[in-house]
Structure 1
Amino acid sequence: MSNQRPKPDDRSDNVEKLKDMVQNTIGNIEAAEETMGFANEKERVAIKAKNARREESIEGMRSEIRDEAAARKK
């Protein structure tokens, strides 16, 4: 066994990281929508389903951003 200790929980930049994640996910949605013009019907259905999951993820991330921002004020 080693004497290593876990790193302390540093949440100081969580809001910024989450905002970046939201922007990246929005970019992925937009890129996927562009590719739908070249996709067959089966691929379009899969892209729409994945984008729906991405939208749900964005809502979760935005909720977490609000929580983190509120915790930062305390």
Structure 2
Amino acid sequence: MPKPDDRSDNEERLQDHIDHTFANLRKSEHYLDEHSDEISEDERQAIEAKNDRRRESIDYFIAEKKDEARG
């Protein structure tokens, strides 16, 4: 028998995702600031692309959290 759909903690889980993703974004930005002269251009571009995806994810999580709060 499937578990019932319990969305009571969705806002909290979304906030955890936001916090975790933002922390990873900040860590990788700090890494780039500290080591940009030591890494290859390809690695720098890969990190920047991943950070772009992280920013998009954060925006998505925030929008989802707002939807959960409404209803």
Report the TM-score range of the alignment, normalised by the length of the smaller protein.
Answer: 0.7 to 0.9
**What is the aligned-residue identity percentage?**
48
Q: CA deviation at 1:41?
A: 1.7
Cα distance between partner residues in 1 of 2:19 and 2:30: 17
Which structure 2 residue ranges, 5 or more long, are not aligned? none
* Bigger CA radius of gyration: 1
- In the alignment, what sits opposite 1:29? 25
TM-score, with normalisation over the residues of structure 1? 0.85
Shift of 1:17: 0.6
- Per-residue CA deviations over 1:1-43 (Å, capped at 9, x if unaligned) read xxxx100000001001100110100000011112213232211
Comparing both chains, which one has the higher relative contact order based on Cα–Cα distances under 8 Å and sequence gaps of 6 or more?
Answer: 2
CA distance in 2, matches of 1:23, 1:54: 11
Structure 1 runs of 4+ with >3 Å offset: none
CA deviation string 1:17-73 (max 9, x = no partner) = 1001101000000111122132322111111100000100111110100010111xx
Gaps of 5+ in 1: none
Partner of 1:65: 65
Q: Which residue of 1 is the match for residue 40 of structure 2?
A: 40
Query: Structure 2: which amino acid aligns with 1:26?
Result: F
- In the alignment of these two chains, the number of paired residues is 67
Letter in 2 for 1:14: N
Q: Distance in 1 between matches of 2:43 and 2:29?
A: 11
Q: CA RMSD of the aligned region, Å? A: 0.9
